[in-house]
């Protein structure tokens, strides 16, 4: 039986690409950028390991409230890239109460459990922060 060769459509890249961030998100990112740069400069070193250099801003409350958390001192940590990766990728090790306990240990004046609970889906009580604080030796 004679077979006809497969017809292949040549790959053509389309003009439009998926945007990295929505317009709304880009606008919000630009809005909070000065605050976040000043924040990392002020903190100066990783709040987890103490290393200086370039720091990321980590949002303790991710998910639906991440955008609101971007410029809230009670909801963010300044972390080096290495620690940021660990905190993001190991939620079992770095539970939300533990992250809040770290914030409280490093910046007690910024600790605000009532405020951050408004940005969290699962509420965190003081007892779980106290318990997690015992895991952090500061
Ligand atoms: Zn670090």
R_g (Cα) of the chain, nearest Å: 21
- Cα of 19 from ligand 1 centre, angstroms: 30
Residues 135, 125: Cα–Cα separation, whole Å: 16
Indicate the average pLDDT of the chain.
91
The Å distance, Cα 84 to ligand 1 centre, comes to 7
Q: 126 CA to middle of ligand 1, Å?
A: 25
Residues 124 and 89: their CA atoms lie apart, in Å, by 20
Gap from CA of 132 to ligand 1 centroid (Å): 18
18 alpha carbon – ligand 1 mean position (Å): 32
The string of DSSP letters for 99-111 reads: HHHHHHHH-GGG-
**CB of 107 within 8 A of CB of 75?**
no
Other CB atoms within 10 A of residue 7 CB: 5
- For position 14, what pLDDT does the model report? 66
In the chain, where the domains are located:
23-136
Contact between residue 78 and residue 57 where contact means Cβ atoms under 8 Å apart: yes
- Does residue 109 register a pLDDT over 70? yes
- Note the pLDDT tens digit of each residue in 48-75: 999 999 999 999 998 889 999 999 999 9
Alpha carbon of 17 to ligand 1 centroid (Å) = 34
Q: What pLDDT is recorded for position 137?
A: 64
């Amino acid at each position: 039986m004679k077979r006809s060769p497969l017809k292949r459509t040549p790959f053509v890249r389309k003009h439009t690409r998926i945007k990295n961030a929505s317009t709304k998100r880009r606008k919000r990112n630009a809005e909070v950028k000065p605050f976040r740069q000043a924040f990392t400069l002020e903190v100066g070193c990783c709040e987890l390991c103490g290393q200086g250099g370039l720091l990321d801003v980590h949002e303790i409350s991710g998910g639906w409230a991440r955008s609101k958390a971007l410029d809230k001192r009670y909801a963010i940590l300044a972390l080096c890239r290495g620690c940021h990766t660990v905190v993001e990728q190991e939620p079992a090790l770095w539970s939300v109460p533990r992250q809040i306990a770290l914030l409280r240990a490093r910046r007690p004046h910024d600790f605000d459990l009532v405020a951050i609970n408004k940005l969290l889906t699962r509420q965190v009580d003081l007892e779980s922060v106290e318990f997690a604080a015992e895991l952090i030796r500061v």
